[in-house]
């Protein structure tokens, strides 16, 4: 899907398009009023409440974190065609790391941990670019064989549903770093290090999609809160998703204030005050 097609889809979902400064506070106004009344609704009997809207689900494609996909290459592709990356992801506060490969490293990071930019040490993490998935899988086997004695159980906070519980190693970073230097030199592979720089470029490349997506998320949050049957003292699933996405851009030193609507910025600041830990 091209950027133009995606924009058209977004307009169809919203029913209209929004430009910066045009209707910025609609979602924020709904959010504030719903938050203010959520406590009162929680005290009412369930039979007396009305809920004309279904609660949005994170799996709804309208609320998926935006990503740019280049479909200009019309050649037929299989699951193993196209570039892939070996990744080495050391944790920030523990001497343990994850090794794997993916065609979409940013999506893989999000799947492993929703706040990957805090959980992993992105200044030490790196990628090795491969021409095919088969090549990347071979690199993974090579790396794994060099540190097989360092295998360790995965951290408990890593999502098992994302198949992130294998290929963890303790005390292996220096060995893998030296292997990467050899592959980047003698092997002729391209090494992306530090990973933080590569990630910032990826987020910057899709930043133009963040404006409409974040506004849709804010509207969805208002609907989600309006349908709550519990207290309003914990962030909802959509709130966590939007907060994590904006925090990721902030961690990459991208200017959030110029990328999203004013109402989203107001919500973001309020969310930080209400839920300091995200």
Task: Say yes or no to pLDDT of 142 above 90.
Answer: yes
Q: Which residue has the higher pLDDT, 182 or 28?
A: 182
Closest CA to 36 of 183, 224, 208, 225: 225
pLDDT in tens, 185-206: 999 999 999 999 999 999 999 9
- DSSP letter for each residue of 127-141: EEEESSHHHHHHHHH
- Residue 13 predicted with pLDDT over 50: no
What pLDDT sits at residue 80? 62
Residue in the structure block whose two tokens are 């899709």: 206
Q: Which residues contact 58 (CB under 8 A, 6 or more apart)?
A: 237, 238, 241
Model confidence pLDDT, tens digit, residues 65-81 = 444 434 344 444 445 66
The rounded distance, in Å, linking the Cα atoms of 172 and 148 is 9
If one compares 55 and 203, the residue with the highest pLDDT of the two is: 203
For residues 44-67, b (16+ Cβ closer than 10 Å) or e, as one string? eeeeeeeeeeebbeeeeeebebbe
Distance CA(268)–CA(271), nearest Å, equals 5
Q: Greater confidence, 260 or 76? A: 260
What one-character-per-residue DSSP string does the chain give?
--HHHHHHHHHHHHSS---TTSSTTHHHHHHHHHHHHHHHHHHS-GGG----SPPP-TTSGGGSPP--------S---TT-S-EEEEEEEBSSSSEEEEEEES-HHHHHHHH-TTHHHHB-TTT-EEEEESSHHHHHHHHHHHHHHTGGGEEPPPTTS-GGGT-SSSEEES-HHHHHHHHHHHHHTS--EEE-SHHHHHHHHHHHTGGGHHHHHHHHHHHHHHHHHT-SS-SSS--HHHHHHHHHHHHHHHTT--GGGTS-HHHHHHHHHHHHH-TT-
pLDDT at 18: 40
State yes or no: pLDDT of 87 exceeds 60: yes
- When the pLDDT of each residue in the chain is averaged and rounded to a whole number, the result is 78
Residue 277: per-residue pLDDT: 65
In whole angstroms, give the CA distance from residue 9 to residue 3: 10
**Mean of the pLDDT values across residues 151-172?**
83
In 3D space, the residue among 92, 120, 124 whose CA is nearest the CA of residue 106 turns out to be 120
């Amino acid at each position: 899907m091209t950027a133009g097609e995606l924009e058209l889809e977004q307009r169809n979902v919203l029913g209209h398009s929004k430009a910066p400064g045009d209707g910025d506070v609609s979602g924020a106004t709904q959010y504030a009023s719903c938050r203010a009344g959520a406590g009162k609704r929680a005290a009412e009997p369930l039979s007396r409440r009305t809920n004309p809207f279904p609660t949005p689900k994170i799996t709804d494609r309208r609320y998926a974190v935006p990503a740019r996909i280049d479909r200009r290459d019309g050649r037929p592709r299989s699951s193993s065609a196209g570039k892939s990356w070996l990744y080495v992801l050391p944790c920030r506060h523990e001497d343990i790391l994850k090794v794997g490969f993916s065609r979409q490293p940013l999506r893989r990071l999000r799947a492993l941990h929703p706040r990957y930019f805090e959980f992993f040490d992105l200044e030490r993490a790196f990628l090795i670019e491969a021409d095919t998935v088969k090549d990347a899988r071979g690199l993974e086997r090579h790396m794994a064989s060099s540190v097989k004695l360092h295998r360790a159980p995965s951290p408990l906070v890593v999502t098992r549903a994302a198949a992130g519980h294998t290929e963890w190693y303790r005390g292996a970073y220096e060995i893998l770093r030296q292997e990467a230097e050899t592959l980047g030199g003698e092997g002729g592979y391209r090494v992306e290090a530090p990973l933080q720089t590569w990630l910032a470029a990826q987020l910057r490349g899709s930043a133009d999609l963040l404006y409409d997506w974040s506004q849709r998320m804010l509207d969805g949050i208002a609907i989600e809160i309006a349908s709550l049957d519990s207290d309003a003292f914990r962030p909802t699933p959509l709130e966590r998703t939007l907060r994590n996405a904006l925090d990721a851009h902030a961690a990459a030193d991208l200017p959030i204030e110029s990328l999203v609507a004013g109402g989203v910025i107001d919500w973001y600041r309020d969310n930080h005050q209400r839920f300091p830990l995200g």
